[in-house]
Amino acid sequence: WGAEGHRLIGEMAEAQLTPAARAEVTRLLAAEPGATMASVSTWADQIRSPETAPWHYVNPPPGDCSYERGRDCEDGQCAVEAVREQVTILKSGASDAQRLTALKWVIHLAGDIHQPLHAGFKGDKGGNLYQVRAFGRGTNLHSLWDGALIRNRAAGIDALRVDASTYGAAAPAAPQPAAWAIESCKVVSSPGFYPDGRFIEQSYIDQWDPVLVARLKSAAQRLAATLNDALR
């Protein structure tokens, strides 16, 4: 996701923390004055380097949305294993500085795995090589899902932000990053996800907007559940 998606997920997840997880998140974030889950959610893209670039996605084999570490995550360098590793650090007795960095990774990567094309196929680099025309300009399918569909949605970005008071705390749960990736892969593999032509019609936006919203909301709920479990 781009900044809007990550910020929405951070904001919606923060509203679903338990008191214990909220207290620890607040304590760790206090090292960076003014920081919130939304504001730190894009840090991992700002520090992008060749070493961490593969942590933002995973590529299951085409035609089979399954995940096997040895096959799909060379040397453990993919989003699924990165989430597992950073959650382990967050739960450990590592320093507050190390645990804050791990928290920032988990906030970002739990979001990314829910962007369908972050568990798309290697052949087209998760849609980055699939050129399309949308909203009056040339782009690619990955970029469309990362941001343009969110920025241009008719119902607005604010409408995605369900009133925080309507959320309860998410039930604590161990992270299931492989299951999240398989769900994303199945979205990418659904009929019509790759548009028939290279022009993104209104019918594409109408068909996929509910899926977009569901992926953002699921990301927030799973992120909160993960933090509520790790920081209990």
- The single residue among 24, 72, 112, 183 that binds Zn ion, judged by CB under 5 A, is 112
| Site for ligand ADE contains 108 (CB under 6 A) | no
3-state SS of the chain?
CCHHHHHHHHHHHHCCCCHHHHHHHHHHHCCCCCCCHHHHCCHHHHCCCCCCHHHHCCCCCCCCCCCCHHHHCHHHCCHHHHHHHHHHHHHCCCCHHHHHHHHHHHHHHHHHHHCHHHHCCHHHCCCCCCEEEECCEEEEHHHHHHHHHHHCCCCCCHHHCCCHHHCCCCCCCCCCHHHHHHHHHHHHCCCCCCCCCCECCHHHHHHHHHHHHHHHHHHHHHHHHHHHHHCC
**Contacts by residues 201-205 (CB-CB < 8 Å, ≥ 24 positions apart):** 205/149, 205/152, 205/153
- The single residue among 7, 56, 99, 104 that binds Zn ion, judged by CB under 5 A, is 56
Q: State which of positions 42-71 bind ligand ADE (CB under 6 A).
A: 57, 59
Q: Taking contact as CB under 6 A, which single stretch among the options 67-75, 119-127, 133-141, 165-173 is the one that binds ligand ADE?
A: 119-127
Look at residue 126 and give the partner it binds from Zn ion, ligand ADE, none, a contact being a CB closer than 5 to 8 Å depending on partner kind.
ligand ADE
Look at residue 105 and give the partner it binds from ligand ADE, Zn ion, none, a contact being a CB closer than 5 to 8 Å depending on partner kind.
none
Under rule CB under 5 A, how many of the chain's residues touch Zn ion?
3
- The single residue among 128, 139, 152, 218 that binds ligand ADE, judged by CB under 6 A, is 128
Look at residue 125 and give the partner it binds from Zn ion, ligand ADE, none, a contact being a CB closer than 5 to 8 Å depending on partner kind.
ligand ADE
Look at residue 146 and give the partner it binds from Zn ion, ligand ADE, none, a contact being a CB closer than 5 to 8 Å depending on partner kind.
Zn ion
Q: Residue 155's CB: how many other CB atoms inside 10 A?
A: 9
> CB-wise, 6 or 118, nearer to ligand ADE?
118
Beta carbon of residue 49, minimum distance to Zn ion (angstroms, whole number) = 12
Q: State which of positions 130-159 bind Zn ion (CB under 5 A).
A: 146
Look at residue 120 and give the partner it binds from ligand ADE, Zn ion, none, a contact being a CB closer than 5 to 8 Å depending on partner kind.
ligand ADE
What residues make contact with ligand ADE under the rule CB under 6 A? 57, 59, 117-118, 120, 122, 125-126, 128
